[in-house]
Structure formats: structure tokens, C-alpha cells
Amino acid sequence: MFLSVFDMFKVGIGPSSSHTMGPMVAAARFLDVMRASPFEFHGLRASLHGSLAFTGVGHATDRATILGLGGFRPDDYDDQKAEAFLAELAETRKMQPEGLGELHFDPKADMIFDYDHALPGHANGMILMATDAQGDVILKQVYYSIGGGFVVTEEELAQGKATDEGDPVPYPFKSAAEMLEMAKSSGKSIAGMKRANEIARGCPESLSKGTARIWQVMNDCINRGLERDGILPGGLNVRRRAKGIHDALLAERGMNLTAPHTINDWMSVYAMAVNEENAAGGQVVTAPTNGAAGTLPAVIRYYLDHVPGASESHVEDFLLTAAAIAGLVKYNASISGAEAGCQAEVGSAAAMSAAGLCAVMGGTPEQVENAAEIALEHHLGMTCDPVKGLVQIPCIERNGLAAIKAVSAASLALRGDGQHFVPLDACIETMRQTGADMHDKYKETSLGGLAVNVPNC
């Protein structure tokens, strides 16, 4: 089994990897299908189903889908060009994707929120359609946004997990048990095995440049979030708090009476800065999703800024270790809040972060696996219940608390010898079963939990 570090960490835009990035990617894929088709097209249509419909407005799913049909992609998204495109579309009801000519699209009539008909493959379903001159559908494709920006067609989903395609890799572990056995027999760290797998599919230079860019985008996102204040969009009137907290922390530096637990505020503020940027539609990196994007960068920043002896040269090992854990969770359970609740997003992020921190602080593979298990275990059962469908409450603070848990999990694992009662594989399987049993209203539909028990305005 192989999932690249660049599959798990994708540069994109907020507020959601599954509800914003995924639909944009799906739309771009549909344009490629249209370009390969012999038909002559005159219009486009889209319908959102399940969680994509219920929380689509709050997650800007309609906007992302329309932009994707217009040729925009998350990895090189230009906000000014996007706004100009949307303004022109509202006036002309026409778009002209590259290589397809002029196509009719009325955002009010052709962007459909279907709340009554969930699609069978996944909670995040959408249907993209192309029409002829009479408005009849002549090309149609069902897509599922399965979390973390991953998108599959209904045919691909029916074929099962597509994670073994491509050239073989030297360490194709599909479970934590296999991972530890391969580490023991090879003498390599988890990051070392992951690096060898990545190089087998690419080259050392691409890996080095790619991971450096991932961290640069993450760190830039933290810094932007620490510098900006104001009100987040969406109607809840949520104030950005990261800047104010950060300013207060800076002012307190060097004071003799600073409480030891203040370090938790530093971890939280780094995470909150990222998730406030995400909520505002800014550039973030999936880790493994947008809703959980703040946890891992916060732990890396904590390591670099607050741990004696830390070095930025270790960030690649942190990311590779975290990606290895994320791959196990995705392959054997889920990283989608719409599929398994927030345990699959923030819980996975905490496990990834704990593993990465443990690794760069000298942990053995057994200690790294233990750190991931501790962090994930104590997020089991966490629901995804965003108020008003916005990735703000409780998502922003939740990332901060997950960062604190991740650091605590890594510290506990480093205090032991790697031997522990609950294997990571058992914890991942428990998360999968819990997600399957969880009521749909707690899985990113905003129909239960906090979403219905606090005021929405």
C-alpha cells in the first residue's frame, strides 16, 4: 500500500478539503472528460447530495464547484481571478473553460442542492452534467469527495481502494504491525522507510523541494493568522482571536510569574491561526483535511520554537512519519468527517502530529506507533457538528486542543519503551467501527450536536 506524502499534504484553499477542494477537483476532472468526449456541449449543470448539500453553503461547495467548472484548481488558486470570473458569470450566465468553448451556466438554476436524495457511495456525493443545445443531459458523472481532497468517481469507488497502483515500493506496509515489522527487519525508521517509498516513485530532489514547500505554506499560514484580526465570514460573527492571544503571549515573555501551562496557549494559538485562515477561505495544507489543518503545523511550530535542540532539518522526517500514519488511517478507516465524524479528521491529525513529534525527538518506531495510538484513542467517538455548517465552531478551538493532546501523547510515549496494551491497528479499526455506527446527523451534516443546540446567528 502506498499513499504519497503529497497525497496527504495538499496545498489548497479553505474552508474544507472535502467540501471545497474536493468539489473543485471533481469539476476539473469533469472538464477533462468533456474534452475527451466526441459530443458538442452547450451547457453545464451540477447537483450536490448528502453532506455536500446540507453544509454546502457554509463550506462554499457551490462556489468551489462553479469555479472548478470554470477551470480553477486548488493548488494554484488565484482569489482575484476567481472573483472576477464569478462576477462575469453572474452577469452573462456563460463560462468558457479552456478547450471547450462557451458554455451556459446559470448559478441560480444549474447549481442544485438536492437534500432529499443521498447518493449510495459516500455522504459527500455530487453529479456533474453537460448538456446539448436543447438543455438535455448528454454526459454525466457521479463523483465522491472522500476526505482530504481525495476524489473518486462512482466507478472508481466500486473498484475498491486504489492505493496500490503504480510501481512497487520497498516498504508497502498496510498496517501498523507490518510497519513495525519492516522497521525492525530493515533497521530503518518510519520516516526512512517512507522516504525510500517516495524516492521509488520519484526522486530525492523532488521530495526535498516538495516537503520544504509544504512546511513553507503551513508556516506562512500560521504567520498570516497571527497577524490578522476581524470577523470571519459566514454569518456567525466569530471574531479572529489568534492575533490577540499571540500579542498577549509575546507581551508576557520573560515574566517571572508566567504559569507553566502557558505553553498550551502557544500550541493552541498556532493551530487557531491556521484554522481562522482556513475559515476565511485562505491558503492552507490538508493535514489530513482542511478542518484539521491547524493541528500538525502547530505541533511543528511548537517543536521548532519551544523545544531545545530542535532543527528545521528534521521537518521532513516529521512530515514523512505523519504521512505514514495518515496513510494507515485512510487505508483502514477514514479521514472524512462526513464518513466517520471528527475523530477521522482531528483525531487523525492528532495521531499524525504525535507520531511526527515523537520521531523527531528520537523516538523508536515502537514509541512512534504508541504516540499515534494514544492520540487517536482519546479522540474516538468525536462527532462532526459544525454550527451553521461553517468550519469555525467548534473546529477552530478543536485543533488547538488536538495539538496539546498530540504533544502530550508524544511525551508519554517517549517516557515508555514502546510496549503498550492497545495496538494502533486496533484503535484505527475501532475508529472505523465507531464511524459506521455513528448517526448521520453527527457526521458533517449540521443536523445534530452543537449545530442544533447553540444559536446560529
Q: What is the DSSP letter of 383?
A: -
Buried b (16+ CB within 10 A) or exposed e, 396-418: bbbbbbbbbbbbbbbebbbeeeb
pLDDT of residue 120: 94
The predicted model scores a pTM of 0.91
- Is the model's pLDDT at 163 over the cut of 60? no
What pLDDT band is residue 164 in, cutting at 50, 70 and 90? low
Locate the domains of the chain by residue range: 17-158, 176-453
Q: Cell 517516495 sits at which residue?
A: 198
What pLDDT band is residue 213 in, cutting at 50, 70 and 90? very high
User: Residue 159: which residues within 8 A CB-CB, separation 6 or more?
Assistant: none
Q: Does the domain formed by 17-158 have CATH 3.20.20.140?
A: no
Q: What angle is formed at CA 291 by the lines to CA 83 and CA 369, rounded to 5 degrees?
A: 145
pLDDT of residue 141: 98
**CB burial of residue 103 (10 Å; 0-12, 13-18, 19+):** buried
Average pLDDT over residues 11-28: 93
> What are the cell numbers at 167?
510501481
Average pLDDT over residues 252-259: 84
Q: How far apart are CA 129 and CA 106, in angstroms?
A: 13
Residue 144 · residue 122 · CB < 8 Å: yes
Q: Name the helix (H) or strand (E) containing 137.
A: strand 137-147
Q: How far apart are CA 373 and CA 180, in angstroms?
A: 13
Task: Tell which residue, 396, 447, 174, 131, has the closest CA to residue 274.
Answer: 396
What percent of the chain is modeled with pLDDT above 70?
A: 98
DSSP string for residues in 237-283: -PBP-HHHHHHHHHHHTT-TT--TTHHHHHHHHHHHHHHHHHHTT-E
Buried b (16+ CB within 10 A) or exposed e, 249-266: beeeeeeeeeeeeeebbb
- Is the model's pLDDT at 165 over the cut of 90? no
pLDDT digits (tens, 9 = 90+) for 171-183: 999 999 999 999 9
- Is the model's pLDDT at 11 over the cut of 60? yes
Average pLDDT over residues 204-225: 97
Residue 35 · residue 99 · CB < 8 Å: yes
pLDDT of residue 167: 80
Q: Name the helix (H) or strand (E) containing 94.
A: strand 94-95
Q: How far apart are CA 268 and CA 246, in angstroms?
A: 10
- Is the model's pLDDT at 162 over the cut of 80? no
- Is the model's pLDDT at 456 over the cut of 70? no
What pLDDT band is residue 401 in, cutting at 50, 70 and 90? very high
Q: Cell 457551490 sits at which residue?
A: 62
Q: What is the DSSP letter of 443?
A: B
Q: What is the DSSP letter of 96?
A: -
**Which of 118-127, 131-140, 163-172, 370-379 shows the lowest per-residue confidence on average (mean pLDDT)?**
163-172
- As a whole number, the mean pLDDT across the chain is 95
Residue 372 · residue 325 · CB < 8 Å: yes
Q: Which residue has the higher pLDDT, 422 or 257?
A: 422
- Is the model's pLDDT at 1 over the cut of 70? yes
- Is the model's pLDDT at 43 over the cut of 90? yes
Task: Tell which residue, 108, 100, 106, 112, has the closest CA to residue 139.
Answer: 100
Residue 367 · residue 311 · CB < 8 Å: no
Q: Cell 466500486 sits at which residue?
A: 158
**Which of 12-16, 276-280, 291-295, 354-358 shows the lowest per-residue confidence on average (mean pLDDT)?**
12-16
What pLDDT band is residue 79 in, cutting at 50, 70 and 90? confident
pLDDT digits (tens, 9 = 90+) for 306-357: 999 999 999 999 999 999 999 999 999 999 999 999 999 999 999 999 999 9
> What are the cell numbers at 163?
492505493
Residue 27 · residue 128 · CB < 8 Å: yes
pLDDT of residue 161: 52
pLDDT of residue 453: 95
pLDDT of residue 304: 98
> What are the cell numbers at 30?
469533469
Residue 211 · residue 195 · CB < 8 Å: no
Average pLDDT over residues 197-210: 95
Name the class of domain 176-453. Answer: mainly alpha
